[in-house]
């Protein structure tokens, strides 16, 4: 158990922002109470989350959002179950929904689908987008007393959704100071008592619309250079200003990026108060550079375990970037600093292919044909495996140690008296590091993209790689600070299992770990066509060690006894 962070005392101006329902209040219950006790009233300056603009590559108006107590429901029944208490956007009737093939594993599905898909095929829509709140204030500021949110049309009282029960920290006076002077975008619910904010996003976090200044790469191979950039600011940039820079620009490319499609790869750093989160988190992002450089509407494809209740309230889904980072409970920006590598493209076809494929993966994920497993079916591996299945062979870095994996299995199993822990140790050490460590995946992806751009490749193997080589115009790098709050500041993510080990206390009793309750997948939601999960390397190792235990150990004992008997006979005869 990790010690809880001490909340700073709030000023009299900020006290109203803190939830008063105690740690047991939940976000869903809090919002439900607000809706029940007050008639929802959408003032002119609180627009629907789908009123205009974009959600990633999609026009926001192509989605429906439940209003006035009439929720919308995704077509996929498993997805509907996971989001039964959440505000979501679903594609309107008649739009092309991403499908899935039955009776196959998720990435075999992607490979077969890619092989039969035309390069110019239109984008498929996701089963849902987790918008988290039905309304938005696109340009607003906090009043000096932090009790009111002010827009060009007027002002209204400001409230925050309650802190969820498992969340050990929340907004405090340092948060209010950080956001106080900024132009903000808020997601939330307008009521007769004011605006109840679910997320608070600084609009000055932007890219473009013109290319930012070119930053010379640090010395060394491109993966190492990117690692240097990720770590050049103290604590991975947790307390540093937001920064945007161009790392590479094609010689004949226009510096005007407005309207350009992008594929981003985001890595969230290490948390400062959770020793299970030093490796960070990985997600693929798609969208367009907006005319004002805004990036909050980009779509983040966030894969997270569905079989546990996240202490932050996270549910795996495509989610707008502003909510992914700035949701008051689940936003990654409240827990750690982040970086994003952005590929700016001439044509949208590569981004359309990637997003359409990830939508299919989400279908298989919600159905539990693809099951989250931390060593090799995690946020990084699911993302990288999708890119590879589409034809971009992101370079592999290899496992941490095959030999050590074989030794670690029995050692950990005996030490901890747990076969399951021995299996985990084996799979962690045996998994390619680009499928395990988000930083390693980002570094290798950067090296591959830079090689494509510099060589102007025209025909590499694979559909996605060919598109990227032809359409890549620029590579940009974004650094996001951690939003100040009562939570400890995080840092840069570990890039290897060896570095990870140095960050974890040697005494398990000193490790800060947040226990989370399970969320079992209902048996009635399991489709009949689901295949069993493929064997992991640890499954094969288990067989080998079982054979050694059943056959090898008796043979070794017999040979020892035979040799011991022979020596005894020789000594007697002598």
Phi, psi of 499 (to 5 degrees): -65, -40
How far is it, in rounded angstroms, from Cα 138 to Cα 299? 17
The model's pTM is: 0.89
Per-residue tokens: 291: 């005319």
How far is it, in rounded angstroms, from Cα 348 to Cα 260? 8
Please give the DSSP secondary-structure letter assigned to residue 336: S
- Which H/E stretch holds residue 318? strand 317-320
Pairing of strands 148-151, 154-160: antiparallel
Q: Give how far the C-alpha of residue 293 lies from the chain's centroid of Cα atoms, to the nearest Å.
A: 23
User: In Å, what is the CA distance from 51 to each residue of 45, 62, 126, 187, 541?
Assistant: 12, 10, 19, 13, 54
How far is it, in rounded angstroms, from Cα 300 to Cα 319? 5
- Burial class of residue 455, CB neighbours in 10 A (0-12, 13-18, 19+): exposed
Per-residue tokens: 77: 């029944």
Residue 76: per-residue pLDDT: 97
Count Cα neighbours of 218 within 13 Å in the Cβ-side half-sphere: 10
Residue 70: per-residue pLDDT: 66
Tally Cβ neighbours within 10 Å of residue 58. Answer: 23
How far is it, in rounded angstroms, from Cα 221 to Cα 412? 36
How far is it, in rounded angstroms, from Cα 226 to Cα 210? 22
DSSP secondary structure letters along 227-252? HHHHHSSGGGGTTSPPEEEEEEE-TT
CB 242 within 8 A of CB 481: yes
Per-residue tokens: 146: 């932090």
Q: How far apart are the first and last CA of the chain?
A: 65
pLDDT tens profile 7-17: 333 333 333 34
Weakly modelled stretches of the chain, pLDDT under 50: 1-44
Helices 463-471 and 438-455, interaxial angle, to 10°? Answer: 60
Residue 552: per-residue pLDDT: 55
How far is it, in rounded angstroms, from Cα 364 to Cα 357? 11
Give the angle 342-343-348 at the CA atoms, nearest 5°: 125
């Amino acid at each position: 158990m990790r010690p809880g962070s001490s909340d700073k005392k709030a000023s009299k101006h900020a006290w109203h922002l803190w939830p008063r329902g105690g740690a047991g209040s939940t976000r869903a219950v809090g919002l439900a109470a607000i809706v029940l006790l007050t008639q929802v009233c959408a003032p002119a300056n609180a627009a629907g989350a789908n009123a205009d603009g974009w959600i990633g590559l999609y026009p926001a108006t192509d989605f429906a959002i439940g209003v006035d107590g009439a929720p919308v429901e995704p077509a996929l029944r498993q997805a509907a179950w996971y989001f039964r208490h959440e505000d979501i956007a679903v594609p309107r009737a008649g739009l092309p929904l991403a499908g899935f093939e039955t009776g196959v594993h998720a990435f075999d599905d992607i490979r077969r689908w890619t092989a039969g898909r035309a390069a110019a095929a239109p984008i498929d829509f996701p089963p849902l987008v987790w918008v988290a709140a039905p309304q938005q204030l696109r340009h607003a500021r906090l009043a000096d007393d932090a009790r009111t949110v002010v827009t060009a049309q007027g002002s209204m009282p400001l409230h925050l959704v309650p802190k969820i029960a498992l969340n050990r920290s929340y907004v405090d006076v340092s948060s209010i100071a950080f956001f106080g002077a900024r132009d903000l975008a808020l997601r939330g619910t307008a009521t007769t008592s004011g605006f109840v904010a679910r997320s608070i996003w600084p609009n000055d976090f932007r890219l473009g619309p013109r290319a930012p200044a070119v930053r010379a790469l640090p010395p060394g191979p491109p993966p190492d250079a990117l690692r240097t950039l990720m770590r050049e600011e103290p604590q991975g940039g947790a307390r540093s200003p937001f920064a945007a820079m161009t790392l590479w620009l094609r010689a004949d490319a226009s510096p005007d990026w407005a309207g350009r499609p992008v594929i981003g790869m985001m890595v969230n750093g290490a948390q400062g108060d959770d020793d299970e989160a030093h490796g960070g988190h990985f997600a693929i992002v798609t969208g367009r550079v907006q005319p004002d450089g805004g990036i909050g509407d980009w779509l983040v494809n966030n894969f997270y375990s569905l079989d546990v209740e996240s202490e932050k309230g996270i549910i795996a889904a495509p989610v707008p970037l502003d909510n992914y980072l700035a949701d008051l409970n689940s936003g990654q920006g409240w827990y750690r600093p982040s970086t994003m590598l952005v590929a700016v493209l001439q044509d949208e076809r590569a981004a359309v292919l990637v997003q359409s494929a990830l939508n299919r993966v989400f279908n298989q994920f919600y159905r539990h044909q693809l099951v989250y497993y931390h060593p090799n079916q995690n946020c990084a591996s699911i993302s990288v495996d999708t890119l590879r299945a589409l034809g971009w062979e992101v370079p592999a870095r290899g496992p941490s140690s095959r030999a050590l994996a074989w030794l670690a299995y029995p050692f950990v199993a005996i030490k901890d008296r747990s076969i399951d822990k021995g299996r985990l140790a084996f799979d962690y050490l045996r998994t390619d590091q680009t499928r395990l460590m988000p930083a390693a995946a980002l570094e290798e992806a950067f090296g591959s993209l830079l090689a494509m751009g510099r060589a102007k490749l025209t025909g590499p193997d694979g559909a996605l790689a060919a598109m990227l080589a032809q359409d890549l115009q620029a590579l940009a790098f974004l650094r996001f600070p951690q939003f100040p709050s009562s939570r400890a500041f995080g840092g840069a993510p570990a890039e290897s299992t060896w570095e990870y080990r140095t960050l974890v206390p040697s005494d398990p009793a000193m490790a800060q770990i947040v226990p989370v309750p399970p969320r079992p997948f209902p048996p009635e939601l399991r489709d009949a066509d689901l295949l069993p999960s493929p064997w992991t390397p640890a499954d094969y190792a288990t067989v080998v060690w079982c054979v050694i235990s059943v056959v090898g150990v008796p043979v070794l004992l017999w040979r020892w006894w035979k040799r011991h008997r022979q020596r005894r006979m020789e000594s007697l005869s002598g």
